[in-house]
Amino acid sequence: MSATATERELTMTLDGEAVGFRAGETIYQVAQRTKKSIPTLCYDERLEAFGACRLCVVEVDGVKAPVASCTTKATAGMVVRTDSPIIEKYRKTLLELVVSENREVDVSPLRGFASQEFTTLVDRYGARTGRFKGRQSGTSNKTDDNPFILRDYDLCISCYRCVRVCAEQEGDYAITMMNRGFGTQITTEFNGRLKDSACTFCGQCVQTCPTGALADKKALRAADLPGEIAKTRTICPYCGVGCSVDLLTKGDRLIGVQPAMDGPANQGALCIKGQFAFDFVQHDDRLKKPLVRQPDGSFKETEWDEALDLAAAGFRRSLKEHGRRSIYGIASGRAPHEAAYSMQKFIRAGFGTHYIDNCSRA
């Protein structure tokens, strides 16, 4: 017997088919593995299941009311239906209710990684029926002028993914839910600004938000730029953790960064630098030619050959007068990997020292 078969020695019935599972798995996890597409809005596989949206309800034989599959453990012999007409009707009604509490359903994908989840489900269930009209929940915070995170709570559906990711993944506990019921409002301590809270601007709340209520202000600057959004998978160059990121581009413009949820080192997490600090790439002040310091302290623009000759002479002089330990290389965190590699080679092979480091050890 193969190892996986032993691990999955328990069996249950899912939509008429026998499936194996491990003790401890939830119905939702088993269903995911067997490629069922149970809808969810409050679920983020990195977080403890919460059971708020109730879209994941399924029928279990012998249990009167439907159960939330995300919080219910699978048990041996359980007979489950994930998509009966009644269950699908509940899901549609729930989505119609959620549509009714928001300012809008369609939002720019630049808002965040998960920002299209709600729109996609609403369309899958044809829930734009205009039923259940009434007051809207959540009030956008128009006074928080931080440069990174838009707090557009008119679109908030109180799934608490942001609060949970901040606590469970980032460990910052910067945000919370204020009040209760329909008056629930996501906010910080004393209902203040993010910069006065424990927030580190890691952006994880933005990227898990399923409606775009929390949105990436920097990426949104490119909302009106013509062109399709392209995503390119790469590694954040800032530090040694090696977080996987998707760079968002339109044409040849870098417009934003999103964490890779399947990045082995980061699983959707980034820090403020990896998430938001990319403006230098296309900044007007970015140096495009070498500068040579003049005796009066000012800088003079020059050509590469001259600058490199000058630098090489300086290195040689130091090496000769003070020995190899007088040389210490600090590679720029903003340099690409190839450059970082060349730099350490240059220091180690060129001078015979291990005095080489990186500027950001975050």
Partner 1 sequence: MSAHAAPSTADLVARWRDEPAPLLPLLHALHDRDGFLSEDALRAVSQALRIPLADLFGTVTFYHHFSREPGGLNKPRICTGNVCCLHGGNELLAALKSQGATAMPCAGRCDEPVPVLRGHEQLVGTSATSLAAKPTPLPAPNPGGCEECIFESIREPGRATLEGYRRTGGYEALSKAVREMTPTQLLALVTESKLAGRGGAGFPTGVKWQAVADAPGQPKSIVCNADEGEPGCFKDRAIMDYDPHALLEGMALAGFATGAPRGFIYLRYEYPETFRILERAIAEAEKAGLLGVNILGGVFNFTIHLRRGAGAYICGEEGSLLNSLEGKHPFPRNKPPFPVTHGFENLPTAVNNVETLASVPPIVRKGAAWYRGLGRNAHAGTKLISLSGDIQHPGNYEVPIGLPLKTLLHDWAGGPQTGRTIQAVTMAGLSGGFLAGDALDCTLDEPSIRGKGSFLGAGGIIVFDDSRDMVAAAHAAMEFFAHESCGKCFPCRIGTQRLTERLNGEAGPSDLAAWTQEVRDIGTVMRATSACGLGMAAPFVTDSLLKFFPEQVDNYVVSKEPNNR
Q: Examine residue 31 and tell whether it contacts partner 1 (CB under 8 A).
A: no
Q: Is there binding between residue 173 and partner 1 (CB under 8 A)? A: yes
Range in contact with ligand SF4 (rule: CB under 6 A) among 12-20, 197-205, 234-242, 307-315: 197-205
Please give the DSSP secondary-structure letter assigned to residue 166: I
In degrees and rounded to multiples of 5, residue 150 shows phi and psi of: -85, 130
DSSP state of 192: -
- What does 214 bind: partner 1, ligand FES, ligand SF4, none (CB cut-off 5 to 8 Å by kind)? ligand SF4
CB of 59 to partner 1, least distance (A): 10
- Please list, in sequence order, all residues whose beta carbon lies within 8 angstroms of the beta carbon of residue 287, skipping any fewer than 6 positions away: none
Least distance in angstroms from the C-beta of 33 to partner 1: 21
Q: Does 121 bind ligand FES (CB under 6 A)?
A: no
Part in contact with ligand SF4 (CB under 6 A); list of ranges 7-15, 166-174, 321-329, 336-344: 166-174
Taking the chain, what is the end-to-end CA distance rounded to the nearest angstrom? 45
The answer to whether the Cα torsion of 251, 212, 127, 70 is positive or negative is positive
Q: Which amino acid is at 285?
A: D
Out of 52, 122, 194, 219, the residue judged to bind ligand FES by CB under 6 A: 52
Beta carbon of residue 289, minimum distance to partner 1 (angstroms, whole number): 48
Q: Which does 304 bind (CB under 5 to 8 A by kind): partner 1, ligand FES, ligand SF4, none?
A: none
Chosen from ligand FES, partner 1, ligand SF4, none, partner binding at 40 (C-beta under 5 to 8 Å by type)? ligand FES
Minimum distance from residue 56 beta carbon to ligand FES (Å): 3
Query: Site for ligand FES (CB under 6 A): which residue of 70, 150, 165, 243?
Result: 70
CB of 38 to partner 1, least distance (A): 13
CB count within 10 Å of CB 7 equals: 12
Candidate list 93, 136, 172, 344; residue touching ligand SF4; CB under 6 A: 172
> Across the beta sheet with 244-250, what order do the strands follow?
230-235, 244-250, 253-259
Pairing of strands 244-250, 230-235: antiparallel
For residues 65-82, one letter each, b for 16 or more C-beta atoms within 10 angstroms of the residue's C-beta and e for the rest, the string is ebbbbbbbebeeebebbb
Binding partner selected for residue 134 from ligand FES, ligand SF4, partner 1, none, CB under the kind-specific 5 to 8 Å limit: partner 1
| 115 interface partner picked from ligand FES, ligand SF4, partner 1, none, CB below 5 to 8 A per type | none
Q: Contact 52/70 with Cβ under 8 angstroms?
A: no
Instruction: For 33-92, give the DSSP string.
Output: HTT-----SS--TTS-----S-TTEEEETT-SS-EETTTSB--TT-EEES--HHHHHHHH
Indicate which single residue of 69, 116, 141, 197 sits in contact with partner 1 (rule: CB under 8 A). Answer: 197
Give kind and range of the element (H or E) at residue 259. strand 253-259
Q: Which is nearer to ligand FES, 48 or 196 (CB)?
A: 48
Taking Cα atoms as reference points, which of 99, 4, 34, 45 lies closest to residue 268?
45
Residue at token pair 């109730």: 54
Give me the residues that bind ligand FES (CB under 6 A), please.
Answer: 40, 42-43, 51-56, 68, 70
Give me the residues that bind partner 1 (CB under 8 A), please.
Answer: 41, 49-55, 57, 65-66, 68, 71, 73, 90, 93-94, 97-98, 100-101, 131-135, 137, 157-158, 160, 167, 173-184, 187-191, 197-198
Give me the residues that bind ligand SF4 (CB under 6 A), please.
Answer: 156-162, 165-166, 170, 172, 174-175, 186, 199-205, 208-211, 213-214
